[in-house]
Amino acid sequence: MKFKGYQRPDGKVGIRNHVLILPTVACANETCRIMAANLPGAVSFVNQNGCGEVEISRRITQRVLAGFAANPNVYGILMVGLGCELNQADEMSALIREKTNKPLEVLLIQEEGGTTRTIRKGTQIVRDMLIEASACEQEWFDLSHLMVALECGGSDSTSGLVANPVIGKTTDILVASGATAMLSETAEIVGAEHILAERAVDPQTKQKIYDIVADLETSLEAVGENLRSAQPSPGNKKGGLSTIEEKSLGCIHKGGTSPLMEVLDYACAPTRKGLVFMDTAGYDVLSVTAKVAGGCQLVIFTTGRGNPVGNPIAPVLKITANRDTFIKMEDNTDMDLSGAFDGSATIDQLGQEVLEEVLRIANGKKTKAEIFGFGFTETVMKRVCDYV
Amino acid sequence: MNKEINAILIDGKDNVVTAIKELPAGRLARFEKGGEMVTVTVTDEIPKFHKIALEDILVSKPVYKYGHLIGEAIKPIKTGNHVHDHNIRSPQKN
């Protein structure tokens, strides 16, 4: 099995060829958005952070931004800062340069003299990058160059019964073919952590699964909160999920049966191939953001209740086994797995079908979230404490 | 999956099944267990994709789905009852 990708100068392989207009701080968001909206092939996103953050939060913001820039789906980056923000553009550039040698240009709105001058100069820079990017030719690569994020959002009982077990089959084939598959959402393994831990490849990885769950519960207790006040969500409950343990047992099916190779900190890139787990919140958009920052080129997203979420950098393939949801939210949903309920398909057959669709998406077919252009670019970053 | 079934048992250890159709009270839930068709009379209205008890479950006793613990009863549950957050909660530690 192979897929068509774009070779990057840092050795990685992308399945999209975007120019990323990267705001270092919220003050630069609209300037970036106006440029991206007028340049097909350019993408941007809303960065809520970049200033007023304590050190520990700023480091997380920087890790996500540098991870976005280094994601292999990005050909090159125009970074736009304001000038006076905490997240200084030269520091941000250095962090990106630690990860990748792809094209990178920087503009500061205060230095350029305002929005219109920044947009004029930035548009020229991005236009030139887009022309260079368009000259890149796709080549065939084996699946060891592919990293797929596994996500579920708006789950109902069909997620755990069919959609996630189907993705588990897809994951097993991807991993057996050399690819990396990334699970996440620590809150959604609570009650099922022992199952993942037993599949850990070494004692350190096993212990880290237990540690991240304990850390989550401890951090919530420290502020007088309880995980179960937010999980399962009202929609999960309406869909038949009664407890976080029930939701978690359904969630982890996405990971299939492969050994767990590594547990990653938030938005960090894996060092091993195969099935890996990233420590993120159970908030879908935040979790997708982190996995794309960790290098995932494609997101498989199962849903029961329906979900429109996209990502500026990675295609998000939306899958449901709830026929009613597929019909109701067809313009947000790529695949219908409800055949498993009416007897027209088996979990194994559907797992193979999803794999084939993943390869088609990798080769350039657009997902429904992508069809809306660069608008579906939901991005949320983890925060440690309030802004200062 | 067989078209005649209207509920799914995921693991032989489970004491709940999941309805794959809305089932009114009095209807038979039909599911497969070890290749055999098994039925249980539903005593409450069961929304689509919600759970049905396969046995009586006393307060604080475990509820199993996927072959694993998903919760414990907080009210006495009778065979055929709707099982959800009104009568089960997360298993309590210790």
DSSP secondary structure, A15-50, as one string: SS-EEEEEESSGGGHHHHHHHHHTSTTEE------S
Can you tell me whether residue A104 is helix, strand or coil?
strand
Same structural domain, A196 and A296: yes
In a domain, A8, yes or no: no
Instruction: Give the domain range for residue B23.
Output: 7-89
Can you tell me the ipTM of this complex? Answer: 0.95
DSSP class of residue B2 equals -
In a domain, A70, yes or no: yes
In a domain, B2, yes or no: no
Instruction: Say if residue B1's pLDDT is above 50.
Output: no
Instruction: Give the domain range for residue A59.
Output: 18-135
In a domain, B1, yes or no: no
The nearest alpha carbon in chain A to B51 belongs to: A240
pLDDT value at position A374? Answer: 62
What number is the average pLDDT over the span A115-142? 98
Same structural domain, A184 and A86: no
pLDDT value at position A385? Answer: 87
DSSP class of residue A163 equals I
What number is the average pLDDT over the span A282-308? 96
Distance from CA of A156 to the nearest CA of B (A): 8
A window 55-74, beta carbon within 8 A of B: none
Residue where a domain stops, chosen among A135, A170, A189: A135
In a domain, B94, yes or no: no
- Give me the number of domains chain A comprises: 2
pLDDT value at position B94? Answer: 55
H or E stretch at A384: none
Can you tell me whether residue A370 is helix, strand or coil?
helix
Rg of chain A over all Cα atoms, to the nearest angstrom: 20
Same structural domain, A45 and A170: no
- Give me the number of domains chain B comprises: 1
In a domain, A154, yes or no: yes
Beta strands in chain A (DSSP E): 2-7, 13-14, 18-23, 42-43, 74-81, 104-108, 139-142, 147-152, 180-184, 260-264, 274-278, 298-303, 316-320, 335-336
In a domain, A5, yes or no: no
pLDDT tens digits for range A33-56: 999 999 999 999 999 999 999 999
Same structural domain, A129 and A182: no
In a domain, A272, yes or no: yes
CATH number, domain of A80, equals: 3.40.50
> Which sign does the torsion angle of CA A234, A235, A239, A243 carry?
negative
In a domain, A213, yes or no: yes
What number is the average pLDDT over the span B60-74? 95
Same structural domain, A123 and A207: no
User: Could you tell me if A327 lies within 8 Å of chain B, comparing CB atoms?
Assistant: no
Mutate: best of B70, B75, B87, B93, partner A, most A CBs <10 A: B70
What number is the average pLDDT over the span B67-92? 96
Q: Which residues pair with A336 in a beta bridge?
A: A320
Interchain CB distance below 8 Å, B88 and A160:
no
In a domain, A6, yes or no: no
Same structural domain, A148 and A130: no
From chain B, the residues in CB contact with A342 under 8 A are 1, 3
From chain B, the residues in CB contact with A243 under 8 A are 70-71, 85, 88-90
The nearest alpha carbon in chain B to A247 belongs to: B70
Same structural domain, A145 and A288: yes
Distance from CA of A353 to the nearest CA of B (A): 18
Same structural domain, A114 and A158: no
pLDDT value at position A230? Answer: 80
Distance from CA of A4 to the nearest CA of B (A): 36
pLDDT tens digits for range A150-194: 999 988 889 999 999 999 999 999 999 999 999 999 999 998 999
Interchain CB distance below 8 Å, B85 and A343:
no
Residue where a domain stops, chosen among A135, A152, A186: A135
Same structural domain, A181 and A115: no
